[in-house]
Amino acid sequence: MTQNVTFDDLKTVTDYEEEHFTEATRIPMWDPEVDDVLVCRQVRQETHDVKTFLFSAREPRVFRFYPGQHMTFELPVEGMIMRSYTISASAARPYRVEITVKRVPGGPGSNWLLDNMLPGKEVNVTGPAGEFTTDATQEEKLLFISAGSGITPMMSMTRTACDLAEPTDLHFIHAARTPADIIFRHELELLAAQNPAFKLSFTCSTTSGYNSWSGFEGRLSLQMLSLMSPDFKDRKILCCGPARFMEGVQNMLQESGFDMANYHEESFDFGAETAGTFEDQIAAPEISDQTYRVTFTKTGHVVECGPGMTILSAAREAGILPMASCQRGICGTCKSQLVSGETDMQHGGGIRKREIDQGKILICCTTPMSDIEVDL
Ligand code: FES
């Protein structure tokens, strides 16, 4: 008789280890507060412009993450830049993490990774973090809709659900430019063949030259969606892709009368956020009705910061342009030193507790609660 490991077991892996491993064989958990170096172990070419990078810690570690969460990488480009990438691996395989990265023309992070990251190289990271996740083994009926490299969080959720062999009723729709651009195509087709409750559909913008293509062709439309997933209105929908793609999906669902309370989305393009995502990710900052003075000690600028205004907005008003990427408290790019004063920070995992203890703040999601000084 076999017994399946459930999603909940992921959360209690420490308890499991306590019971089943001796002191000599126990592998410590990856602790985001302490551990911050990953070593690249393998690089896989997925499509002509997409690679998967497999990492583990220097010393053996067990990673605990929820499918859909991301890690933020410090990359040595133009000094140093921070980039967040969703973990594409199954959360049920906790000894490694993988990210899958598509080359973005002119994108410094993706180009550096695809051209330079090799087995044996080390990289500093923070995380895992992020709220875009679902317990795919518990939801009754799910529909994933993704486009391009927005497939990565859905892939982690799908791999996890299939690894745990839970009877999830899951439809997965993915849009790509051509059949050759479909990331993870063969693995997804295999999972669909092996799991009766997993239904898979692809649509490609163009299929000319691909004579054996039997999937859909053209942009995802309401008519196409109804053919792919006739009961889509009964499902919880998770969507990830370029901002314009998600906007199109939202409009289409609204037009169909879909209950948008069951719609959730994640943009993998932090530079092109859609309205509402910020609130989905982190709690709104505590809003004081007072105005406080923010002094930027390096430049000497002083700005009056009104109710609800973040320190990043105040800096921009002063003509200072600090580095910032996600603007959601996730990536850590805007990390700065608070010199004095009280603040309220509502971050999404882009900063460690020990950094907070040292007076660091993420200025994109921090509002002043007194007159403050910031080292900018
Ligand atoms: S810009 Fe990403 S945490 Fe502030």
Q: 95-131 pLDDT, tens per residue?
A: 999 999 999 888 889 999 999 999 999 999 988 887 7
197 C-alpha to center of ligand 1: Å? Answer: 38
295 C-alpha to center of ligand 1: Å? Answer: 20
213 C-alpha to center of ligand 1: Å? Answer: 42
CATH 1.10.8.100 fits 292-374, yes or no: no
Q: 186-241 pLDDT, tens per residue?
A: 999 999 999 988 999 999 999 988 888 989 999 999 999 999 999 999 999 999 99
**Residue 21 clears pLDDT 60, i.e. is over it:** no
Nearest protein CA to atom 3 of ligand 1, as residue: 329
Q: Are 30 and 84 within 8 A, CB to CB?
A: no
Q: 241-286 pLDDT, tens per residue?
A: 988 899 999 999 999 999 999 999 876 544 332 322 233 333 344 4
Domain ranges of the chain: 7-129, 141-278, 292-374
Question: Which CATH number applies to 7-129?
Answer: 2.40.30.10
Q: In what order do the strands lie in the sheet with 141-147?
A: 216-217, 198-204, 169-176, 141-147, 236-240, 263-266
82 C-alpha to center of ligand 1: Å? Answer: 9
Structure tokens at 72: 């933020």
Pocket probe mutation, ligand 1, options 74, 325, 374, max atoms within 8 Å of Cβ: 325
User: Which atom of ligand 1 sits closest to the CA of residue 323?
Assistant: 1
> What pLDDT, on a 0 to 100 scale, did the predictor assign at position 282?
33
| Residue labelled with tokens 């009754």 | 140
Q: CA triplet 98, 272, 277: central angle to 5 degrees?
A: 80
- Identify the bridge partners of residue 171 per DSSP, sorted by sequence position: 143, 199
Q: Are 87 and 30 within 8 A, CB to CB?
A: no
Q: 32-70 pLDDT, tens per residue?
A: 888 889 999 999 999 999 999 999 999 999 999 999 988
We find that the CATH architecture of domain 141-278 is: 3-Layer(aba) Sandwich (3.40)
Q: Alpha-carbon distance 256 to 233, whole Å? A: 9
266 C-alpha to center of ligand 1: Å? Answer: 16
User: Which atom of ligand 1 sits closest to the CA of residue 84?
Assistant: 2
- Tell me: ipTM over 0.95: yes
Q: Alpha-carbon distance 222 to 224, whole Å? A: 5
For residue 19, give the H/E element and its range: helix 13-20
Q: Alpha-carbon distance 240 to 265, whole Å? A: 6
Q: Which residues contact 17 (CB under 8 A, 6 or more apart)?
A: 26, 27, 62
Residues with CB under 6 A from ligand 1: 324-327, 329-334, 350, 362, 364
